[in-house]
Structure 1
Amino acid sequence: MSAARKTARPGRFIVLEGLDGAGTTTQTERLASALRADGHAVVTTREPSDGPVGTMVRQALTGRLGLPQGRGPLAPETLALLFAADRTDHLHARVLPALEEGKVVLCDRYVLSSLAYQGASLPMAWVDTVNAHAVSPDLTLFVGVDPRVAAKRRAVRGAPAELFEADEAQRRIARQYLKAITLRQKRERIVRIDGELSVEAVTDACLMQVRRVLARGR
């Protein structure tokens, strides 16, 4: 376990996870509003981050960064290591400072995403190992939706498809998420939320779990 993972911190680190189209970004924003109304200092963030390595990851996901002479996308191992490097940068630049200040950090995607997305084409144990440095969240909320529901939501959104957003890829990633949850539940608290409920009902279910974590001591 890394020094960062051992460090006691007065804040709380909450992660939202799910397929593209599960609604994690919407729920992160809604949770932040509710927690601020409760009187908490809240920081919202996401992965890939907006930092220098995160920018490279986003370029790779949208096809703007790949092998030389346009020979194709980056190798899966390269992309997995970029995600892990971005996570290290993100933790030290944004997450850990906020936790040290006693704030609630809500993060849209984290290690579970790497295990599901990169673990779909690489050994999950290897992806887990390269992320061994990562601080464990106090709570991960997995917003679960059927891949077909997620696909319909992405279609409505109308944004250009990214590297992992093809329907077959999302079905494979959905299976990987379940394996990743089984792996990580041995080390950290992961709660599944029914993401096919109304937006308001999903927020209520998430908020109930977050308030439990905030109410109890470490």
Structure 2
Amino acid sequence: MINYDMLMNNWLIIVGIIVFLAGLIGLFLYLRHKNKSGYHAEKNIFASAESALFDDSDINTPHSTTTHNEATGLFQDGFETEQQAEADSATPTQPSELIIVLFVIAQHEIGFSGTDIFEVLQDLGLVHGKKRIFHHYGLGESKTQHPIFSIANIMEPGVFNPEEADTFHSQGLALFMQLPGPFGGRVAFELMMNTAQRIADTLSGIVENDRHQPVDASVINELRQKINQFEQR
């Protein structure tokens, strides 16, 4: 039986990893456009170590920015703790979870408008909720109590504020899912992949994997195989 309480306790770690990956995307976009038109992107999502994504108690307080190294150090500390725990274990174990990440990156310097983001995500059945990001709970009678996948903003602080929908722009969206989850991995991935492509088609974006590679048939097959191997462990 899936321990959903444990999955929810890992929620901040999952979003933290997504935030770090999204930071790399934001940095790449900034460097790519800077020399073309003097465009200055919004601050990257990993610039604030006290982001509301990481601490609910700060959800209504101002956030001070930190350096790239300080923010990265937060993730490294977590990874070192996990690595030490693994080293202390006498019996090697199989990975207990798998995180799949996709990005939808804007093709235009202005990015996606907040109004368009809210409209397309709601049209695709996503719900704005916990952590102030969007979640997909399934379709029709196949809805679940826990998210099948979620979508965060790659710009700091990673959230979507409904009251600011008509004033903000984003350079991209991060879609992520965790396995095991409420659906089988293959079904959940196909739903997330289809959603990412529909967002890209509607907002004129590009779907990329977690290595910043455009998603094509070979990348999709690679992700499917990765999921199959995990579920057969």
TM-score if structure 2 supplies the norm length? 0.31
Bigger helix share: 1
Larger Rg: 2
TM-score if structure 1 supplies the norm length? 0.32
